[in-house]
Structure 1
Amino acid sequence: MLDLNPDVRSWACGTTVLKVGRSKHVPDLQMEEIDGRLWLLDVFDRKNLPDATGLSVEASGLSYRYRVVDRAEIYDGFRLKNANDLLRYAGHNVPLGDRIRLLSLLGEHGPLSLSDCLRAVRETQPVAAIASLILQGYLEVELDDKLIGPETMVRRISG
């Protein structure tokens, strides 16, 4: 899910050790946001976590922010299902012609429905091409409102 969050520059499995009293704890994930903020994250069902306040204080001393990710952030809504659907196409190569056609179309007309974008793809599988361009950061769609479908609006990411 972090791979599809436009505010996340990078993330990795945790390696930073936080010491709270006599306890040592390695948070599940380290994350950097595009604005440079650094986070240490724990998944919701971790057992035997040291005091969250102590973890926050220790993380702050290392220039990180700390929080426990709530179960609802992962499982409620459509984001996880949409992320799984898109990630299936992570290795798909989009030919230059299709990428240019899609980006030009969206640059000229603004956001378009997924079904309209599918018509612009000529050299490869249309759904795979659009999903891959979303994963590569060229295009974006709303992942939280409903499952991705023909009426889902596709926007070009300027950059």
Structure 2
Amino acid sequence: MHCRDAGKQFANILSRHMPLPAAAVVHCFTGSRQELDSFLQLGLYIGITGWICDDRPERGGPELASLLCSIPRDRLMIETDAPYLAPRSIKPSRARPGRNEPALLPHVLMAAAAAIGITPEELGKSTTATACRVFGLPGDTLGLQHHHEDGVE
């Protein structure tokens, strides 16, 4: 689910329809602590995108980073929002000037792990397990049983 600048209203609407018929992810979360707390109380999963890689205060990256420790690991997901929100931690190339793609997900993973204070491997395992559980994917489909050289699973 996508919520932009309407966290209180979003939570109020959802609370009237609880329990939800299926697991739901707040896509591209960029809200406040109050919104995060409301969403977690509703049982929602929280999706973090390339915003976490943006260190400009006016864009909210530092505030978002400060909230990550408040998200239970089994409710946190990472996502790209491709083709938008390319991580600012990389330089655009001629091939994809500013375009985001799934191959850039490790940049989101590394920034999120740093904000939480754990290794990318730890966060990769927990977010992959969460995605498999929420979306009904077998763990071995996404390589949960294998260690990758780059540390991202």
TM-score by length of 2: 0.24
Q: Higher strand share goes to which structure?
A: 1
Q: Normalised by the size of structure 1, how large is the TM-score?
A: 0.23
- Greater Rg, structure 1 or structure 2? 1
